């Protein structure tokens, strides 16, 4: 393993750990009624938009997995949703040329809706009895909230991506 | 090269998705003491002190967000409450009106029970005479309702108000006892001393006693005597409020405060039975 590959993995681990900490400690405090932001999902989409489908998938998988481990949810459901979202958001990397933050916001909005639908579909498939009642209002609220959080998360991850590019150039 | 890279990525996604499906399956099938469940419980124990600490630190931020959300809701709530208040105020007015009407009807029933030999017709007061010199009111019933001239008119509480002096098919004019041209046969309830109650045109009345030496005191109740044939006997009129000095014509001024409030009449009772027997004492003066 080269130094650069090790650096990339360390960076991935750091970003996931920090995002997980924020998700576990800050997000519950920022919830409005039943609407709770999914910062890990926002980070997955933004990460995938900067680094493409491969790294987006890995980020989504590990981010979702640790989130599942640190919650009472069915283990694997979050990882499943975020893996798929990470891949498809990464596929958009070269298709979105605008540098405006409006695009990532729109993508996060749609990704949140898809992610929640995937969650409900998986719960139904595994026959989970105690699943929360489906509410499109809550999903729309979450999507809006996540889209707004993109305004904060996207510039931070843009800086991380820029520093990584710089490190690669030095090598 | 790019094709190989894309294939590798697709293989990666499929592999990770399969791992997720396996995890979900294993987790769903194992019991609460299974490895994955125990791992979750352990992780939550590790992270819970952090969550508690962060909860304390971020509580002002949370309160700020809730305040902003509440502010938006409060505006809508305010408008809704304003509408509700308006509706409730209208309802209160309606209920107040109904309460007053109920009180009036109760009083009227009491009047009927006190004088079972008399028949009444409840009529609404529809207007007052605009002429300051005429103490009359207009009521909403006339010939077609069975009303006749010289019939006695009582207030809601059964006190004498006046008598009908003009009847049309749908309305009638009531001459109040305070009218200067009004004269009603009256007597003191305490000792039966007879006299004639006359209006002074200014909202007051006075009693001209037939016996100049009659025993009269302030507070004496004055009722109708039945003399003259227009008003049935025994209807309360008012109380003696002042006794003046003897005049040159040897009469004494006995001032009576009418029991009925002539300025607040809404409904009146017209005595339709028995019918007035004779012309009133001052009827010729008017005609």
Residues 6+ apart with CB under 8 A from B105: none
Give pLDDT, residue B283. Answer: 43
Give pLDDT, residue B284. Answer: 43
**Domains, in order of start, for chain A:** 3-166 (1.10.1760.20)
Give the DSSP per-residue string, chain B: -HHHHHHHHHHHHHHHHHHHHHHHHHHHHS-TTSHHHHHHHHHHHHHHHHHHHHHHHHHHHHHHHHHHHHHHHHHHHHHHHHHHHHHHHHHHHHHHHHHHHHHHHHHHHHHHHH-TT-EEEEEEEEEE-S-TT--EEEES--GGGT--TT-EEE-TTS-EEEEEEEE-SS-EEEEETTSTT-EEEEEETTT--EEEEEE-SSS-EEEEESSTT----TT-EEEE--TTSSS-TT-EEEEEEEEEEE-TTS-EEEEEEESS-TTS-SEEEEEEESPP-S--TTHHHH-
Average pLDDT, chain B: 83
State the burial class of residue A71 (Cβ atoms within 10 Å of its Cβ: 0-12, 13-18, 19+).
Answer: middle
Longest dimension (CA), chain B: 139
Contact A28 B43 (CB under 8 A): no
Give pLDDT, residue B248. Answer: 65
Nearest-neighbour CA in chain A from B72: distance (Å)? 13
Contact B25 A77 (CB under 8 A): no
Contact A54 B24 (CB under 8 A): no
- pLDDT-derived band at B282 (thresholds 50, 70, 90) equals very low
Query: Which residue of A lies nearest to B58 if distances are taken between CA atoms?
Result: A29
User: Rounded to the nearest 5°, which phi and psi values hold at A168?
Assistant: -65, -40
Give pLDDT, residue B281. Answer: 47
B42: nearest Cα among A69, A102, A28: A69
Instruction: Tell me which residues of chain A have a pLDDT lower than 70.
Output: 1, 97, 129-131, 171
Chain B residues with CB-CB distance to A126 below 8 A: 24-25, 28
Residue of B78 and B212 predicted with greater confidence: B78
d(CA B151, CA B274) in angstroms, rounded, equals 9
The model's pLDDT over B59-100, given as tens digits with 9 standing for 90+, comes to 777 778 778 878 888 888 899 999 999 999 999 999 998 998
Contact A71 B44 (CB under 8 A): yes
Give pLDDT, residue A171. Answer: 65
Contact A80 B44 (CB under 8 A): no
**Paired tokens of A59:** 């980020």
A75: nearest Cα among B14, B50, B43, B46: B43
The model's pLDDT over A121-161, given as tens digits with 9 standing for 90+, comes to 888 887 776 667 778 888 999 999 999 999 999 999 988 88
DSSP state of A74: P
- pLDDT-derived band at B287 (thresholds 50, 70, 90) equals very low
The model's pLDDT over B101-134, given as tens digits with 9 standing for 90+, comes to 888 888 878 877 877 888 888 898 888 776 667 7
> What number is the average pLDDT over the span B22-26?
88
Cα B76 → chain centroid? 32
Nearest-neighbour CA in chain B from A26: distance (Å)? 7
The domains of chain B are located at: 31-114, 120-279
Q: Does B38 have pLDDT greater than 60?
A: yes
Residue among B17, B25, B61 whose CB faces A29 most closely: B61
B23: nearest Cα among B36, B14, B38: B36
Contact A76 B24 (CB under 8 A): yes
Give pLDDT, residue B201. Answer: 74
Q: Is the pTM of this model over 0.90?
A: no
Q: Does B52 have pLDDT greater than 80?
A: no
Its sign, for the CA torsion B224, B225, B226, B232, is positive
Question: What's the CATH number for B120-279?
Answer: 2.40.10.340
Nearest-neighbour CA in chain B from A81: distance (Å)? 9
Q: What is the ipTM of this complex?
A: 0.83
Give pLDDT, residue A25. Answer: 76
């Amino acid at each position: 393993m080269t130094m650069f590959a090790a650096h990339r993995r360390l960076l991935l681990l750091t970003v996931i750990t920090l995002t997980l900490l924020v998700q576990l400690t800050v997000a519950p405090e920022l919830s409005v009624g039943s609407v709770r932001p999914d910062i890990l999902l926002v980070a997955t989409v933004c990460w995938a938009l900067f680094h493409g489908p491969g790294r987006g998938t890995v980020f989504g998988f590990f981010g979702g997995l640790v989130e599942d481990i640190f919650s009472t949810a069915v283990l694997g459901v979050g990882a499943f949703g975020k893996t798929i979202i990470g891949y498809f958001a990464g596929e958009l990397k070269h298709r979105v040329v605008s540098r405006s933050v409006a695009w990532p916001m729109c993508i996060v909005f749609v990704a949140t809706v898809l992610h929640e639908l995937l969650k409900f579909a998986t719960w139904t498939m595994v026959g989970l009895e105690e699943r929360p009642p489906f509410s499109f209002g809550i999903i729309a609220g979450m999507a809006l909230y996540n889209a707004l959080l993109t305004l904060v998360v996207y510039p931070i991850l843009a800086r991380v991506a820029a520093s990584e590019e710089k490190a690669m150039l030095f090598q | 090269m790019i094709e190989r890279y894309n294939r590798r990525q697709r293989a990666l996604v499929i592999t990770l998705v399969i791992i997720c499906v396996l995890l979900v399956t294993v987790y769903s099938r194992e019991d609460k003491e299974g490895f994955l469940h125990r791992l979750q419980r352990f992780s939550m124990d590790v992270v819970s002190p952090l969550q508690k600490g962060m909860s304390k630190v971020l509580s002002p931020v949370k309160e700020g967000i809730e305040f902003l959300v509440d502010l938006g809701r409060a505006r809508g709530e305010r408008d809704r409450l304003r509408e509700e208040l308006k509706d409730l105020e209208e309802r209160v007015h309606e209920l107040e009106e109904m309460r007053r009407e109920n009180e009036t009807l109760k009083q009227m029933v009491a009047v009927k029970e006190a004088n079972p030999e008399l028949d009444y017709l409840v009529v609404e007061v529809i207007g007052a005479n605009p002429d300051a010199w005429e103490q009359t009111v207009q009521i909403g019933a006339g010939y077609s309702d069975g009303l006749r001239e010289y019939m006695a008119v009582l207030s809601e509480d059964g006190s004498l108000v006046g008598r009908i002096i003009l009847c049309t098919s749908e309305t009638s004019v009531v001459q109040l006892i305070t009218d200067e041209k009004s004269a009603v046969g009256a007597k003191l309830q305490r000792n039966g001393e007879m006299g004639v109650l006359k209006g002074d045109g200014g909202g007051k009345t006075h009693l001209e006693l037939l016996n100049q030496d009659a025993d009269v005191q302030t507070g004496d109740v004055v009722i109708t005597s039945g003399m003259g044939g227009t008003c049935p006997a025994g209807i309360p009129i008012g109380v003696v409020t002042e006794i003046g000095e003897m005049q040159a014509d040897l009469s004494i001024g006995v001032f009576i405060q009418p029991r009925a409030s002539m300025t607040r009449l809404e409904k009146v009772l017209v005595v339709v039975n028995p019918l007035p027997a004779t012309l009133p004492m001052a009827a010729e003066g008017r005609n």
